A and B are shown apart, each in its own frame.
Chain A
Amino acid sequence: GAVVSQHPSRVICKSGTSVKIECRSLDFQATTMFWYRQFPKQSLMLMATSNEGSKATYEQGVEKDKFLINHASLTLSTLTVTSAHPEDSSFYICSANPSGVTYEQYFGPGTRLTVT
């Protein structure tokens, strides 16, 4: 149980375009999901907390207009990187917190974004 999927696993896009990444909790409901960014050989940096039915909470320094987050249902959160640039190339990881269970997070496999 407690499986989180991400789609796509890899995406290559051209500079200036937008790309959407999906995060799904497959066998549980998640009121809260998190989006992280991981640079090569570095740790996970929390970008934002995604709350079902309300606006996401962004960490300091993360541009909310660039990284659009939508959490429209209890099993799906999406991250849209708008007007992508090469410096946005990274590994994006989501995690989901089961509804009613605090402090637990289950991680997705990540999405490798390359902006050319």
Chain B
Amino acid sequence: AQSVSQHNHHVILSEAASLELGCNYSYGGTVNLFWYVQYPGQHLQLLLKYFSGDPLVKGIKGFEAEFIKSKFSFNLRKPSVQWSDTAEYFCAVNAYSSASKIIFGSGTRLSIRP
């Protein structure tokens, strides 16, 4: 069965610091990978996704993620965070064999100090 691990439960950074949130998945076959963000009081929004091609994908609001197949990882990065990036971040995986079903990681809460 697929699973997704996010090792950082709560990350606290100052504005302008660089961000990297870890995500590892377990599934031996072809996968699609996603990062979603949930701002306080709002619904889930898609930050970026990887289906195929260039393993470095760029998303909205300056976020990017790199798919490293050999490490089963899809880490999220941002070179300089802003206070408005305070949110919950979820990594998610979809296995080709399971149609559109998406499995979510446990989430990482990001707090940015102004």
Q: How many residues of A contact B (CB 8 A)?
A: 21
Q: How far is the CA of A102 from the CA of B42 in the complex (A)?
A: 25
Q: How many A-B residue pairs have CB under 8 A?
A: 47
Q: How far is the CA of A109 from the CA of B51 in the complex (A)?
A: 25
Q: How far is the CA of A104 from the CA of B92 in the complex (A)?
A: 12
**CB-CB under 8 A for A108 and B107, given A32-B100, A46-B102:** no
Is B94's CB under 8 angstroms from A103's CB?
yes
Is A109's CB under 8 angstroms from B100's CB?
no
Is A46's CB under 8 angstroms from B109's CB?
no
B106 in the interface (beta carbon within 8 A): yes
Chain A residues contacting B36 (CB-CB under 8 Å) are 107
B61 in the interface (beta carbon within 8 A): no
Q: Mark B83-114, 1 if CB is under 8 A from A, else 0.
A: 00000001000100001111111110100000
Kindly provide the distance from the CB of B65 to the nearest chain A CB, expressed in whole angstroms: 16
- Interface 9-residue window, one of A10-18, A36-44, A64-72, A74-82: A36-44
The chain A residue sitting closest to B6, CB to CB, is A43
The chain B residue sitting closest to A109, CB to CB, is B43
**CB-CB under 8 A for A110 and B43, given A42-B107, A43-B90, A44-B90:** yes
**CB-CB under 8 A for A46 and B103, given A41-B109, A103-B32, A103-B94:** yes
Is A105's CB under 8 angstroms from B106's CB?
no
Contact residues of B between 27 and 48, Cβ < 8 Å to A = 32, 36, 42-45
A interface residues, Cβ below 8 angstroms from B: 32, 34, 36, 41-46, 49, 93, 95, 97, 102-105, 107-110
B interface residues, Cβ below 8 angstroms from A: 32, 36, 42-45, 49, 51, 90, 94, 99-107, 109
Known pairs A49-B101, A103-B94. 11 more at Cβ < 8 A?
A: A34-B100, A42-B107, A43-B105, A43-B107, A44-B90, A46-B103, A49-B99, A93-B44, A95-B44, A103-B51, A107-B43
